[in-house]
Every structure is written in structure tokens, then in C-alpha cells.
Amino acid sequence: MDLGTTNSLVGVVDSGFPILLADENGNRSTPSAVCYDHNGSIQVGNIALRQRALNPSRTVTSVKRLIGRRGGESDWRPHYNLSELGVTPAEVSAEILKRLKSIAENALEQNVSRAVITVPAFFNDAQRAATKKAGELAGLTVERILSEPTAAALAYGLDKLDEHQKVAVYDLGGGTFDISILEMRDGVFQVLATAGDTQLGGDDLDQALACFLAEKLSRPATDLHLLEAAESIKKRLSTDDTTEFHGVTITRGDLEKLAKPWLDRTRQHCLRALSDAKIKPGVLDEVILVGGSTRMPLVRQFVAELFGKEPNTSQNPDEAIALGATIQAGILAGSLRQVLLLDVTPLSLGIETFGGLMNIIIPRNTTLPAKAGEMFTNAVANQDIMLIRILQGERELANDNWELGRIEVPFPGGPKGSARVGVQFSLDADGILHVLARDTVTNSDTNLEIRGTAIDVADERVEQMIAESIEFAFDDMNERIWTEAKLKAEELLPAVEAALTQLGDAITADEAQTVRQHAANVRELLDGTDHDAKALKTATQLLDDATQTLAVLLLDRAMEESLARRGIL
Ligand code: AMP
């Protein structure tokens, strides 16, 4: 539930999806107005708001400005007197929450007893406690009091941000302005700083525009109709370039001229919040907009310039807080968690390694987000570039899998095996694969981002890939064993050759003959066309054992020479 200063909203998680609920008239937003009639009846929402003109002293609006404050603590003076009405701010808020509860109960056709309620980030303990009390008075168990900017960030899906990523939430509503800087820590948002003005919002711009119109039309600026007209003109100018009112043309430029000083007031608060959070605008990972006034193109442009980053406008700014509260409620109730965690890798992700084999880095069915890496080296001497092919699939051979991308990592040439290239795959919760290749010798990084493809694979293609991997499992496995044995053999053969030459007469003719025979067997299998992986593996193993004997002999020989040199033998 978003218990707002001007409007309040309610949502629920239905079948794993957060949705906001409408009242019987189809309105998802309920004015935060409560009218206490002479005859003792209480009306809430639009009906109450209509009473304001007739019955101002009995119609309570903007009670959020008073909740949890002691008398005299707020410099805001309402047009009503709560003690005359015999109610507390928490009781008034409870009426609004009761109304939201009944909207939810009507929509769901079942009893609603638990809620998450949002409050501004700057609310102190007393204000939070009073809000919780209001919930209880409305017959609700308050599962959590959630900060509005955090709720907004949840609605924008920013709970998937990495650790220490930072977000600015610019919230410009009808009567208040809030700026909050959040940081993701241990998987939850921390409010690093918050600033704002409880007397700054769209209403001020309506006033300024009403004065402008009054002057043009030579009417008194206090004309209430002008104020109402000003608001609708303002809203229209968010989409249209010009509009007309009683024969006067008003352009977006006119409005923007009036809005300039108004926006400049928000600038001071933003700079203050950034400085309190000890960060520069450039380091923000996301800037999000909340509040109806951020629909104005000028506000969006202003925010983009101020923070040096295009704001994220993917959510409805009037509904983001309520949506975030709903998401939080869903997470607490466990009805969203499964949905959030359902994302897994449909197919394995890896890179091609020596001999054209697939080396899996993130196996299929790994829950997102996921991170894994491995160290690779150069296969040939003096190679100065390593080509990394990023692959997806279940087949053993690189070429049978799908290539998602490739990167080239340059490194200083050196002997075989001297390069150290770390390859890290990190797959974020949105399925975007970030590949980082780091030459750990020179500490230089190469990055590649692969969007969508790592996760968005049509079901049929996944099925086909898995079916093929099973169908060809035997052949594939044979190819893998063959390739591995081949790589080993190609490494061993020259080593054996060298050892034999070096040792010369140190071993008997028979011993040398056995080793040569093993080497010949391996060579024959390598040159053959039937790719008998098992035979090659056995032959290579025998050659390897023989080389071990040679290696021991080489070592003994070296030791003897050394001792002899020192006159010990
Ligand atoms: P909120 O408190 O978030 O409901 O925001 C209400 C404020 O947003 C009021 O001042 C509205 O006049 C203003 N507002 C709503 N829609 C628009 C729009 N399309 N363009 C400009 N201002 C708007």
C-alpha cells in the first residue's frame, strides 16, 4: 500500500504477478482525503474530496504531513483542526488504509489482513510507528514499513543490481519533493542520503501558471477555477506543444519558463544528497523517476543534465511506489520468490579450448545470477593473441555448439603455457552475459556483453540441442577422449624424442626399443583415420608411463653429473 500525501494506491500479487487494484469506478488512485460528516459518517477518497469545498473544516487532506509529529512540530498549517474533529493523524490514515483494504477485498473477493505500507525515507521512528499504528487500526498486520525510494527501486526491477551499485530516486509529486540515494548492500537497498522539500511539488507550478493566466486574462489570481485549469493545461503540455484557454494560446515554452525556478529548487536538494552520500553524479548506476510531475519533458531533461545520465522512465511514475510495495509483499509472502528465482540457464555456456573442445563455464540449469571463471594459457609459443569463442550448447565439440560472440585478448608473446588469461562469465538476473577476459600478466581487461541470447532461447531449440547432445553422446564423448588423448600425444612425442637423444647409451637397447615402439604405436593411431579414442588413450598412457621412466633416468643422470662435478662421486 502506498499511503501518499495526495493519493493512495493498493496492489496485490496475483498468480505470481504484482498488480495494482482499481476501485468500483476503475480508479487505481484514491485521494488521501477523509471527510467527517456532522452526522458521524466518514467518507474517504473522491467523495471526501468533493466535500472539501463545501465542508473544509471537516475534510482532512494531506494528513501525512502531520502523522507522528507532535503539535507545533510541523510548520504546515492545515485548513482543519484534528482535535476539534476528535481524531488523531493515525486514525485519519487508518480510514484511508481501510478504504484501500476494502478495494483489495472487493477485487479479490477474500479477506485481506496483511500489508506492506510505504513511508518517505526521511520519516523518523515516531512517524513510522504512527503509520504502523494506522495500519493496525485499519485491521491490518503490518508486515513491513518500506521506504518509498526502495519501493520505487523494486518496481523498476533494480533489486537485481550488483553489490554497491547506486541509484538516485527523484520523486516530484504534487506537494512534496524527495531525492534519495540508495546503494545495494548485501542484497538490500541502503538509503545513503535523502533530502527534499515537503512544500515543493506540482501544486506550486499550478499556482505559477494560474498567476500567468490571471495576468493574460485580467482575472484575479485567486480564482479557484484558474488553478484547476492550470493543472490540466500543465498536464496537457507534457504531451502537446501548445494549448488554448479562453482564446489565449499557451506554449510548452511558457510553462517551462515558469518551471525553471521551481526545478532549480530541486537542484539544491539533489546536490546536497549527493554530497551527503559522498558521491559524484557520474557514478550513479541508475536514476529513476517517481511522482506525477516527472512526466513533464522538462523535468526529465533537467534530471538527465543534473545527473549526467538519462533517467529510467520504464515505469509509471505515479504507480512505482505502490508497485514496489506490492512486490515487497509478494516476496515476504513467498508468492513472488519462486517467480524471481525461476530464471535458470537453459543451456550451458562456455568457451572453446585447445583442440576445438567445448569447455563449460556455467552449466545448464544454473540459477541466475551466476558467476564463474577459469584460467587459460597459450597453446603455442609466441602466440600474441588469444581468440575466445563464447559458446552455448551441450555438445562436446565447440563447432557443434552455437557461437554467441568472440573476443580477442592480446598478450605479450612467450613460450607455450606462459600466458595467463582468466576468463570470467557473469550472467546477471536479466540474462545478460558479461564476459571478462583478463591477462593476469599485464593486468589488462577485455570485456564483452552478450544480451538476451544467453537466456532467451526458444524452447524448441533448447529441446533440439539437448536431444542432439543425447543422440550424439557416444560420438561426442569419443571425440572428446580422442582430442584430449591427441593433445597429450602431440605434447609427449617430441619430449620422448628429445629424451632418447639426450640419454643415448644410458638405457639398454631393449629399453629404448620399448619406448620407441610405444611412440610408434601412438603415431600410427594419430595418423589413422578411424579415430579410435580408446586405443589412442591406452597407447598414450603407455607412452606417458615410459616417459616417466625416462624422466626419472634423466633426473638421476643430472644428479650424478652434479655430484661428480663436486667430486663426491
Ligand atoms: P503524485 O503526487 O505523484 O500523484 O503527483 C501528482 C502531481 O503530478 C500533480 O501536481 C499533478 O499535476 C502532476 N502530474 C500528473 N500528471 C502529469 C503530467 N502528465 N504532466 C505534468 N504533471 C503531471
- The string of pLDDT tens digits covering residues 166-222 is 999 999 998 889 999 999 887 788 888 888 888 899 999 999 999 999 999 988 877
Residue 8 has pLDDT above 90, yes or no: yes
- Please give the pLDDT value at position 340: 43
Q: Is residue 191 helix, strand or coil? A: strand
Distance between Cα 172 and ligand 1 center (Å): 8
**241 is written with which cell numbers?**
506543444
Helix (H) or strand (E) segment spanning residue 493: helix 473-503
CATH 2.60.34.10: does it fit domain 339-470? yes
Contacts of 132-135 with C-beta under 8 Å, sequence gap 24+, read 133/90, 133/94, 134/3, 134/67, 134/89, 134/90, 134/91, 134/93, 134/94, 134/97, 135/1, 135/94, 135/97
- CA separation (Å) from 72 to 199, 355, 388? 16, 79, 68
- Kindly give the distance from the C-alpha atom of residue 235 to the centroid of ligand 1, in angstroms, as a whole number: 7
Per-residue pLDDT, 21:
94
Query: Ligand 1 pocket: which of 62, 293, 295, 315 to mutate (most atoms <8 Å of CB)?
Result: 293
Query: Hey, what's the cell of 180?
Result: 534519495
Residue nearest to atom 6 of ligand 1 (CA): 174
Tell me the average pLDDT across 521-537. Answer: 86
The whole-number pLDDT of residue 185 equals 82
pLDDT value at residue 569:
60
For residue 66, give the amino acid letter.
Answer: L
Q: At 389, which amino acid appears?
A: R
Q: Is 372 exposed, middle or buried (0-12, 13-18, 19+ CB in 10 A)?
A: middle
Buried b (16+ CB within 10 A) or exposed e, 102-112: ebbeebeeeeb
Confidence of residue 454 (pLDDT cuts 50, 70, 90): low
Closest ligand 1 atom to 202 CA: 10
DSSP per-residue letters across 71-114: TTS-----SS-HHHHT--HHHHHHHHHHHHHHHHHHHHTS---E
CATH number, domain 474-565: 1.20.1270.10
The closest residue, in CA terms, to atom 21 on ligand 1 is 235
Nearest Cα to Cα of residue 16 among 370, 477, 331: 331
Q: Is the domain covering 160-314 a CATH 2.60.40.1260 domain? A: no
Q: Whose alpha carbon is nearest atom 8 of ligand 1?
A: 292
In whole angstroms, what is the distance from residue 292 CA to residue 319 CA?
Answer: 9
Average pLDDT over residues 502-520: 81
Q: With left for phi above 0 and alpha for psi between -120 and 50, is residue 411 left, alpha or beta?
A: beta
Q: Give the residue whose CA is nearest to atom 19 of ligand 1.
A: 235
Q: Is 264 helix (H, G, I), strand (E, B) or coil?
A: helix
Question: So what's the pLDDT on residue 338?
Answer: 42
Residue 133 CB partners (closer than 8 Å, separation 6+): 90, 94
Least confident residue range of 283-297, 303-317, 459-473, 505-519: 459-473
Task: Tell me, yes or no, if the two domains 7-156+316-321 and 474-565 fold the same way.
Answer: no
Judge whether residue 42 has pLDDT over 80: yes
Q: What distance in angstroms lies between residue 171's CA and the mean position of ligand 1's atoms?
A: 11
232 CA → ligand 1 middle, Å: 10
Measuring from atom 15 of ligand 1, which residue has the nearest CA?
292
- At 456 the pLDDT is 66
Ligand 1 centroid to residue 408 C-alpha, Å: 50
Task: Report domain 7-156+316-321's class.
Answer: alpha beta
Q: Exposed/middle/buried for 81, CB within 10 Å: 0-12, 13-18, 19+?
A: exposed
Please state which of the ranges 57-71, 92-106, 382-396, 439-453 shows the lowest mean pLDDT.
439-453
On the question of pLDDT at 462 being above 60, the answer is: yes
* H or E element that contains 59: strand 59-61
- What is d(CA 492, CA 270) in angstroms, rounded to the nearest whole number? 67
Residue nearest to atom 1 of ligand 1 (CA): 173
Asked if residues 289 and 312 have their Cβ atoms less than 8 Å apart, the reply is yes
Here the cell at position 308 is 549526467
What residues contact residue 92 under an 8 Å CB cut-off, 6+ apart?
34, 60, 63, 82
- State the distance from the centre of ligand 1 to the C-alpha of 310, rounded, in angstroms: 20
Active site residues per annotation: 2, 64, 148, 171
Work out which ligand 1 atom sits closest to the CA atom of 291.
Answer: 3
Of all atoms in ligand 1, which is nearest to the CA of residue 171? 3
Contacts of 139 (CB under 8 A, 6+ apart): 98, 101, 113
- Considering the chain, what is the average pLDDT of its residues? 87
Hey, whose CA ends up nearest to atom 22 of ligand 1? Answer: 293
Chain segment 385-425, per-residue pLDDT in tens: 888 899 998 888 899 998 888 888 887 778 877 778 889 99
Average confidence (pLDDT) over 499-504: 75
Instruction: Give the CA distances from residue 204 to residues 196, 258, 300, 522, in Å, rounded to whole numbers and listed in that order.
Output: 15, 10, 18, 87
* Torsion 151-155-159-162 (CA) sign: negative
Instruction: Name the more confident of 196 and 303.
Output: 303
Which ligand 1 atom is nearest residue 29's CA? 4
> Residues near ligand 1 with C-beta < 6 Å?
6-7, 173-174, 201-203, 231, 234-235, 238, 291-293, 295-296, 318
Helix (H) or strand (E) holding 251: strand 248-251
* Residue ranges covered by each domain of the chain: 7-156+316-321, 160-314, 339-470, 474-565
Q: Which residue has the higher pLDDT, 339 or 414?
A: 414
Query: Rounded to the nearest whole angstrom, what is the distance from the C-alpha of residue 204 to the centroid of ligand 1?
Result: 11
Q: Are 91 and 44 in contact (CB under 8 A)?
A: no
Mean pLDDT throughout 225-238? 93
Specify the ligand 1 atom closest to the Cα of 239. Answer: 19
Give the pLDDT band (50/70/90) at residue 430.
low
Q: Which helix (H) or strand (E) holds 376?
A: strand 370-376
Listed in sequence order, the residues at least 6 apart from 301 whose beta carbon sits closer than 8 Å to its beta carbon are: none
pLDDT band at 71 (very low <50, low <70, confident <90, very high): low
d(CA 395, CA 466): 8
**145 to each of 112, 123, 155, 481, how far by Cα in Å?**
17, 10, 16, 59
Index of the ligand 1 atom closest to the CA of residue 175: 2
